[in-house]
Amino acid sequence: MVRVTGNEASMVLVMGVTGSGKSRFVNLLRGGSVEEGDGLMSVTQECQIVRVKIGSELAYVVDTPGFDDTTRSDADIFEEITTFLATQYASGLALKGITFLHRITDVRMQGSTLSTMTMFKELCGDHALKSVVLLTTFWDKLSDKSIGARRQQELRQEFWLDMTAKGSQVRRFDGSRDMAEALVMRLVDRPPVVLQIQRDIMQQGKRLEDTGVGRKIATRLDRSLEEKDKELEDLEKQISKASKRRSSRDLKQLEERLGRKLTERERIYASRQKLKASLGPEINAKVEKQQKSSPIMDKIQFFASILGMTVSVTTNIVLPLLGVAF
């Protein structure tokens, strides 16, 4: 752990599937900080930090991309969030808690929502669930609030039972700035928490694929690679038959399909390779280098400058008023 001077900086993460209201939540705390989506397409593609002052307290609230991002793969998002969290840990910044947003209007728990929830739990680890607030959003869209209350009860019993048993809180979000601030304040008052993924990556030096979430994504990618290989083998057989028949039209079509499948396979393979990385040593080296070049720095500046090195690759940080007095 490095020694960094400056004010104690508390961080609170906002997580959840795409469209659950993460960016709106952050904008309530600080108007116009991040872009909100207008449908099911993802807008927040990188982790973004917003500096929020509530009364005399200062918090850094982080808007995160959902694991169900429509434009980036799970492996990409996982790598980015993990890089962010591991760097936060290595910079000595205190993570105080996480709000996990869920639309109360969703009639059923969809596959992507369920898998995001499962990954989220693994990322945190049981011990950190005390620092989680499960926040239901979109209550204003329900004409009958009792439907929402019933749904929230079902969520508690069917999907959140293990989390609440380990200390996660469930709250109905009324969409107000006051409530957003109160939630952040409550989390800021909590003791710092080290998530399972931070333990795995920074304390145990695990590779991404050897962590709980990484293993899940890796298994899925391995399965798709096997499927793609079977499809490719099959196509090659068809191509050889078509060439024996001298059917040039079939051959052209099949070769085009083969080209597309090969590109798909390459993409999956690249994602799979990403999971082989062990981020710990790389991040520690960056922390050390940064400390040598500018040993006295505010923790958040320190953190930002480390991630700043990888700005175009993984993380775009928005620190709108860093260093500016309120």
Q: List residues near ligand GDP by CB under 6 A.
A: 16, 18-24, 36-38, 43-44, 137-138, 140-141, 175
Residue nearest to ligand GDP (CB): 21
Segment contacting Mg ion by CB under 5 A, of 18-26, 100-108, 224-232, 282-290? 18-26
Segment contacting Mg ion by CB under 5 A, of 36-44, 138-146, 284-292, 293-301? 36-44
CB atoms within 10 A of CB 143: 6
- Taking phi over 0 as left and psi of -120 to 50 as alpha, with beta for the rest, 40 belongs to alpha
Compute the least distance from the CB of residue 68 to Mg ion, in Å.
12
Examine residue 44 and tell whether it contacts Mg ion (CB under 5 A): yes
Compute the least distance from the CB of residue 230 to ligand GDP, in Å.
36
148 binds, among Mg ion, ligand GDP, none (CB under 5 to 8 A by kind): none
94: CB partners within 8 A, 6+ apart: 8, 9, 10, 11, 192
Compute the least distance from the CB of residue 138 to ligand GDP, in Å.
4
3-class secondary-structure state, position 324: coil
Compute the least distance from the CB of residue 118 to ligand GDP, in Å.
18
**Which residue, 44 or 87, has its beta carbon nearer to Mg ion?**
44
- CA 185 – CA 12 distance, rounded (Å): 10
Burial category of 176 from C-beta neighbours within 10 Å (exposed 0-12, middle 13-18, buried 19 and up) = exposed
Q: Which two tokens stand for residue 26?
A: 């952050």
38 binds, among Mg ion, ligand GDP, none (CB under 5 to 8 A by kind): ligand GDP
Residues in the chain: 326
Compute the least distance from the CB of residue 113 to Mg ion, in Å.
15
**Which residue, 38 or 144, has its beta carbon nearer to ligand GDP?**
38
- CA 280 – CA 258 distance, rounded (Å): 38
What is the residue type of 237? K
Alpha-carbon distances, residue 270 vs 75, 222, 267 (angstroms): 10, 12, 5
20 binds, among Mg ion, ligand GDP, none (CB under 5 to 8 A by kind): ligand GDP
Examine residue 23 and tell whether it contacts Mg ion (CB under 5 A): yes
| Contact residues: Mg ion, CB under 5 A | 22-23, 44
